[in-house]
């Protein structure tokens, strides 16, 4: 019974660690997406600045994925 309890506690701790790692990765992706939006979507392939409505459309498209 004690071994079973220890196994359950160990799995609980491992689960908490994995959940924290998952949260950290999600936060990292949110930061990356924000930086991407701030720097990349305002410039199109020819180097011209997007019009504001095009920029908003691109932001909305990115947020879908």
Per the prediction, the chain carries an average pLDDT of 78
Which residues constitute the domain of residue 31?
A: 2-64
Query: 65 in helix, strand or coil?
Result: coil
Q: What is the pLDDT of residues 27-47, one digit of tens each?
A: 999 888 887 777 666 555 565
- The angle subtended at Cα 61 by Cα 59 and Cα 62, nearest 5°, is 65
Residue 2 has pLDDT above 80, yes or no: yes
Q: How many domains does the chain have?
A: 1
Please, which pLDDT band fits residue 26 given cuts at 50, 70 and 90? Answer: very high
């Amino acid at each position: 019974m004690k071994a079973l309890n220890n196994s359950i506690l160990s799995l609980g701790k491992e689960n908490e660690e994995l959940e924290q790692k998952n949260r950290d990765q999600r936060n990292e992706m949110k930061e990356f997406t924000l930086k991407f939006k701030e720097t990349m979507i305002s410039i199109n392939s020819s180097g011209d600045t997007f019009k504001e409505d095009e920029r908003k459309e691109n932001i909305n498209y990115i947020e879908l994925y």
